[in-house]
Structure 1
Amino acid sequence: MHIFVFSFNRGLFLDNCVRSIEACAPQCKLTVIDDGSDDPETRAVLADVAKRHRVVDKTAESGHKLGGLYANMQAAYEMAADDELMCFLQDDTQMVRPLTDEDIQHLCQSFEQQPDLGFVSPAFVRGFSLRKKADRDFRFDRERDFWFWYPKKRSTGTWFSALLIADPKRLRQLNWQFEVGESVNNRRAAKLFCRMARMRAPFSMWLPNGRAYRGKQKSMALRFGEWSRRCGLYPLQIMSDQEVQALKQAEPARLPVAEEFLKTTRGNISTPWAYDPMQGAGWLKLLDRLERKLRGLFR
């Protein structure tokens, strides 16, 4: 498996992510694709990582609020070989358990035996996804050995998420291209594949209460959200072999909700965990959009 990590100006987060991969998946190839970071701390981390792994500097501008993420995902896809699975992570995520050769073999066999399988999520389920009754419908398919999500309304994350595992060869056979925006990719994946599969025992997760950017910038609303939530680096503990095996072998299968199985290494964080400084604060999101729109008008 070839793991790609996408990075921009979050040096401490990137360092935590890379070190978790080195500890949990030393057998995997690792490439970091940076979106033109100019923060000195991040540049120093990138230089250090480059001593051990491939680092690619991509500054493609997509015009989307997430900057060049999807352009860089496309670049990673084009780098991936046909004879290996690819896994996409981001600098504000980390691995939370060892990824064994048996895990990788199981994933390879799943793609071989399930021709409609397009994307597998390597991440735990976020607790806030279960707050609405209409979104709680996760079903375990024993034959496929995966969880699948059946929200009442079509939602991003149902067929596609930016954190993913995929078979590049299969994607190329169907002329797949990564478009700008998760919802666009979600709609396209829905026409080509089954719903996004979710592992019985995932191996990665977004860090709770992390810092964020919108279009490579931080609005005053976003900064206020980070301050009010006390956002920072909250690494996750690596699961023990006993915890992993208990999750893999649970009967009936247990939905892998992050807050139920994972713990941070520092600080107490309220649940459900937040992954966006403006999560649940519609007024902040409105102010953020207005500020970015005004900034664009006066450029």
Structure 2
Amino acid sequence: MHIFVFSYNRGAQLENCVRSIEACAPQCQLTIVDDGSDDPATQAVLREAACRHQVIDRTAESGHKLGGLYANMQAAYEMASADELMCFLQDDTQMVRPLTEEDIEALRASFANQSDLGFISPAFVRGISLRRKVDRDFRFDTDRNFWFWYPRKRSTGTWFSALLIADPKRLRKHNWQFEVGESVNNRRAAKMFCRMARMRVPFAMWLPNGGAYRGKQKSLALRFGEWVRNCGLYPLQVMSAVEVNGLAQASPVRLPVAEEFLKTDKKVRQPWAYDPMQGAGWLKLLDRIERKVRKIFS
């Protein structure tokens, strides 16, 4: 499996992500695709990582709030070999358990035996996703050995998520292209593939309470949200063999909710937040206004 990590100006998080991959999946090829980081600390991490892994500096201007993420995902997809699976992670994520050769072979077999399978999520379920009753419908398919999500509306994450495992050969067969925006890719995937499969025992997760960027910028509203939430680096502990086996063999099958199975070194309020402005609509509004004003006068 070829693991791609997408990075921009979060040096501490990137270093944590790379170290987790080295510890949990040393057999996998790792490529870091950086979106033109100009932060000295991040540049230092990239230089150090380049001694062991492929690092690509690719500044892609898409005009989207997530910067060049989707353009860089497309570039990574075009680089990926048809002979191996690809896994997309981001600098604010990490691996949380060892990924074995048996795991990879099982993923290969899933793609081989399930012709409508387009994307598999390597991530645990966010506890925040279960707060609304209409979003709680996760069903385990025994034949496929995957969880699937059935929210009332066609939510992002139902068919596609930026954290993914895919077979490049299958995507190319369907002329797949990564578009700008998760909702756009979600709608596109819904026309081509089954719902996004979710592993019984995932191996990756977003870090809680991390910082963020919008269009490679931090508005005053975003900075305020980061200050209120005390955003920083909150690494996740790697699961023990006992914990992994317990989830893998649980009967009945248990939904892999991050807060139930993962631990942080520092106490973090639950459900974990992944956006500094999460749940604060007024901050999101101020952020949009500030970015529009900046664009007008830039």
In structure 2, how many angstroms separate the alpha carbons of the residues matched to 1:145 and 1:60?
37
Aligned to 2:56: 56
TM-score normalised by L of structure 2: 1.00
In structure 2, how many angstroms separate the alpha carbons of the residues matched to 1:270 and 1:233?
14
Q: Which runs of 5+ in 1 are unaligned?
A: none
State the one-letter code of the partner of 1:9: N
In structure 1, how many angstroms separate the alpha carbons of the residues matched to 2:94 and 2:19?
8
- Give the drift of 1:244: 0.4
- Give the drift of 1:38: 0.3
Q: Secondary structure at the match of 1:162?
A: coil
RMSD across aligned positions (CA) = 0.4
Aligned to 2:150: 150
Aligned to 1:200: 200
Structure 1 residues 119-138: aligned runs within 5 Å:
119-138=119-138
In structure 1, how many angstroms separate the alpha carbons of the residues matched to 2:83 and 2:246?
31
Q: Which runs of 5+ in 2 are unaligned?
A: none
Q: Secondary structure at the match of 1:83?
A: coil
In structure 2, how many angstroms separate the alpha carbons of the residues matched to 1:254 and 1:106?
19
Q: Secondary structure at the match of 1:232?
A: coil
Aligned to 2:161: 161
In structure 1, how many angstroms separate the alpha carbons of the residues matched to 2:268 and 2:50?
33
- Give the drift of 1:268: 1.0
Aligned to 2:75: 75
In structure 2, how many angstroms separate the alpha carbons of the residues matched to 1:245 and 1:232?
31
Aligned to 2:65: 65
Aligned to 1:42: 42
Question: What percent of counterpart residues are identical?
Answer: 79
State the one-letter code of the partner of 2:297: F
Aligned to 2:28: 28
In structure 2, how many angstroms separate the alpha carbons of the residues matched to 1:68 and 1:277?
20
In structure 1, how many angstroms separate the alpha carbons of the residues matched to 2:211 and 2:31?
22
Task: Give a deviation string over 1:25-51, Cα, whole Å, max 9, x none.
Answer: 000000000000000000000000000
Aligned to 2:277: 278
State the one-letter code of the partner of 2:212: A
Structure 1 residues 149-228: aligned runs within 5 Å:
149-228=149-228
State the one-letter code of the partner of 2:119: F
- Give the drift of 1:193: 0.2
Aligned to 2:295: 296
Aligned length: 298
State the one-letter code of the partner of 2:288: R
Q: Secondary structure at the match of 1:212?
A: coil
